[in-house]
């Protein structure tokens, strides 16, 4: 009986160990399942939170938008005066300014040695006086010569006229004698009448004597006529010669006066030249402004190149260049906002004042750049702005006020090219099948307007302030599997 009891106790103890092993295995499996479940739950929860954070909305509101063209410019003074003296070869005796000084119009900037110029001026003035005295004498002599020629012309006309008159009188007498003598031979009847008279004893002269008388009268008339023609020719020649002499003297007077004028101008020009040089020895500021450059010193020999630069600092401008792609957006009068590196917090105001009609072309070939100079005026004088400062410029090319605007990426486009936005609408919205969080979305078609940096203008009768406009995702997955893969929750499976 004892052996059976012992054997029975041994069998009972073996079954207890198997049960324990099973329990241990079950517990281990249970722990693994619980661990994996908790891990997956945590990953899904985190993924849901990640996706929920990825869905962003923008509360729709009205804004003022501006379109701008940006550029970088430089503060300049457009009234720049380079002061030089119109003289050379003299010493600089005084320099009364230095860079940074403020001068008023009329202030003496620098002085030059004028001793030699004063001597030259005295010589030039003396030469002018001598030139004018010589001109006066030459003109008197030319006028006297002209007057003598006029007297000679008048006398020649008078003398030759008398000679012609005398020859004319003698010719008339000769012609009269010839006429009376020719009566005897005027007609054939008269001649025969004369013969009959001789036969009857009524004429004391014979025919031969009468013929001699007629011949003599003809010869006298011819001689008188020749004398008259010679007198007329002599008159014409003498008057012409005297007239030519008179014209020559008149021309000589004109030439003398012209020469005198030329000589006087030359001498006077020399005087003015030295007067200008003398005046140039004292150089004054033509305008009030800031001295920005001085490149001469006392003791230098002035060559006519050294200068002092004065710039008007009462009104500054901004000079900038606008690329050819943007220049047609720019117009005179457009508002400008700008900042300087010295004060990037404050926005200053200005206007487009001028646009260059021609471009500044740099480079060649594919490296060519084409830009246009634009000048911008400032609305007021800003005391902290200095010449040559860099200005960051925004030229306002278009602006709209009190319009609905959304971030640029919020405006989407459908297959037909129509612009739209999506808004969160719990009442009328539709839930997309691929949206794991079932966000109710409503599509509103819009028209796009002005753009300004991050925002774009939209328009639609369905828009109201406060709408939650859904913004595009930032690139994360839109379903749970993708989120799990991104988070690595399923990497061990």
Q: Is residue 374 part of a domain?
A: yes
- pTM comes to 0.49
Query: Same structural domain for residues 96 and 126?
Result: no
Q: Is residue 19 part of a domain?
A: no
Q: In what order do the strands lie in the sheet with 80-83?
A: 80-83, 308-311, 289-294, 102-103
Which CATH number does the domain housing residue 358 bear? 2.40.30.170
Query: Same structural domain for residues 218 and 258?
Result: yes
Among the candidates 399, 430, 450, a domain finishes at 399
Q: What residues does 289 pair with on adjacent strands? A: 103
Which CATH number does the domain housing residue 99 bear? 2.40.50.100
pLDDT digits 0-9 by tens, 311-345: 888 889 999 999 999 999 999 999 999 999 988 88
Q: Looking at 178-192, 277-291, 304-318, 319-333, which range is the least confident one?
A: 178-192
Query: Same structural domain for residues 299 and 241?
Result: no
80-83 and 108-112 as β-strands: parallel, antiparallel, unpaired?
Answer: unpaired
Q: Note whether 399 and 68 are within 8 A (CB).
A: no
Instruction: Tell the burial category of 403 from Cβ atoms under 10 Å away from its Cβ (0-12, 13-18, 19+).
Output: middle
Query: Same structural domain for residues 133 and 270?
Result: yes
At 393, the pLDDT band (50, 70, 90 cuts) reads very high
pLDDT surpasses 80 at 117: yes
How many CA atoms lie less than 13 Å away from 432 in the CB half-sphere?
12
Its domain, for residue 286, covers 84-112+282-306
Q: Is residue 186 part of a domain?
A: yes
Q: Looking at 44-48, 54-58, 114-118, which range is the least confident one?
A: 44-48
**DSSP conformational letter for 325:** T
Among the candidates 357, 374, 399, a domain finishes at 399
Here the contacts of 363-370 (C-beta below 8 Å, separation 24 or greater) are 369/323, 370/323, 370/324
Domain count of the fold of the chain: 3
Cα–Cα–Cα angle for 172, 173, 178, rounded to 5 degrees: 95
Max alpha carbon distance in the chain (Å)?
250
Query: Same structural domain for residues 300 and 394?
Result: no
pLDDT surpasses 80 at 270: yes
How far apart are alpha carbons 408 and 410 in whole angstroms?
Answer: 6
Query: Same structural domain for residues 265 and 120?
Result: yes
160: alpha, beta or left? (left if phi > 0; alpha if psi -120 to 50): alpha
Query: Same structural domain for residues 321 and 387?
Result: yes
Query: Same structural domain for residues 98 and 133?
Result: no
Query: Same structural domain for residues 179 and 228?
Result: yes
Query: Same structural domain for residues 301 and 346?
Result: no
Torsion angles phi and psi, residue 332, rounded to 5: -60, 135
Q: Note whether 172 and 181 are within 8 A (CB).
A: no
Query: Same structural domain for residues 204 and 262?
Result: yes
Query: Same structural domain for residues 301 and 216?
Result: no
pLDDT digits 0-9 by tens, 411-468: 999 999 999 999 998 888 888 877 776 788 899 999 998 887 788 999 999 999 999 9
């Amino acid at each position: 009986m004892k052996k059976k009891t012992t054997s029975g106790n041994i069998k009972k103890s073996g079954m207890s160990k198997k049960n324990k092993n099973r329990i241990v295995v079950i517990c281990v499996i249970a722990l693994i399942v619980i661990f994996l479940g908790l891990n997956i739950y945590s990953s899904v929860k985190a993924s849901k939170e990640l996706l929920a954070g990825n869905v962003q909305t923008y509360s729709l509101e009205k804004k003022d938008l501006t379109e701008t063209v940006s550029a970088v410019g430089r503060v300049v003074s457009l009234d720049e005066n380079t002061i030089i003296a119109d003289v050379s070869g003299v010493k600089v005796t005084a320099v009364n300014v230095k860079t940074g000084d403020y001068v008023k119009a009329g202030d003496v900037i620098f002085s030059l040695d004028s001793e030699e110029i004063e001597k030259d001026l005295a010589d030039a003035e003396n030469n002018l006086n001598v030139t004018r005295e010589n001109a006066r004498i030459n003109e008197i002599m030319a006028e006297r010569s002209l007057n003598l020629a006029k007297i000679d012309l008048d006398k020649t006309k008078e003398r030759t006229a008398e000679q012609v008159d005398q020859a004319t009188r003698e010719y008339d007498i000769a012609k009269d004698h010839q006429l009376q003598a020719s009566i005897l031979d005027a007609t054939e009847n008269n001649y025969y009448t004369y013969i009959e008279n001789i036969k009857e004893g009524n004429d004391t002269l014979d025919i031969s004597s009468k013929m001699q008388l007629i011949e003599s009268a003809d010869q006298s008339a011819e001689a008188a006529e020749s004398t008259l023609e010679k007198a007329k020719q002599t008159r014409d020649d003498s008057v012409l010669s005297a007239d030519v002499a008179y014209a020559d003297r008149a021309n000589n007077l004109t030439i003398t006066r012209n020469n005198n004028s030329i000589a006087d101008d030359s001498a006077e020009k020399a005087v003015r030249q030295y007067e200008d040089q003398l005046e140039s020895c004292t150089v004054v500021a033509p305008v009030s402004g800031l001295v920005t450059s001085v490149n001469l010193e006392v003791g230098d020999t002035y060559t006519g190149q050294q200068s002092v630069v004065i710039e008007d600092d009462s009104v500054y401008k901004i000079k900038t260049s606008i690329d050819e792609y943007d220049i047609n957006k720019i117009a005179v009068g457009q508002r400008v906002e700008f900042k300087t590196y010295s004060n990037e917090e404050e926005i200053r105001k200005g206007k487009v004042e001028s646009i260059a009609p021609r471009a500044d072309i740099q480079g060649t070939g594919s490296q060519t750049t084409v830009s246009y100079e634009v000048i911008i005026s400032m609305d007021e004088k800003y005391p902290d702005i200095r010449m040559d400062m860099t200005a960051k410029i925004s030229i306002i090319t278009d602006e709209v006020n009190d319009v609905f605007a959304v971030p640029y990426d919020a405006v989407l486009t459908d297959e037909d090219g129509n612009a739209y936005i999506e808004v969160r609408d719990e009442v009328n919205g539709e839930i997309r099948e691929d949206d794991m969080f079932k966000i109710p979305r409503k599509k509103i078609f819009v028209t796009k307007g002005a753009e300004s940096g991050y925002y774009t203008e939209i328009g639609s009768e369905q828009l109201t302030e406060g709408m939650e406009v859904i913004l595009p995702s930032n690139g994360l997955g839109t379903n749970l599997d993708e989120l799990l893969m991104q988070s690595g929750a399923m990497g061990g499976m």
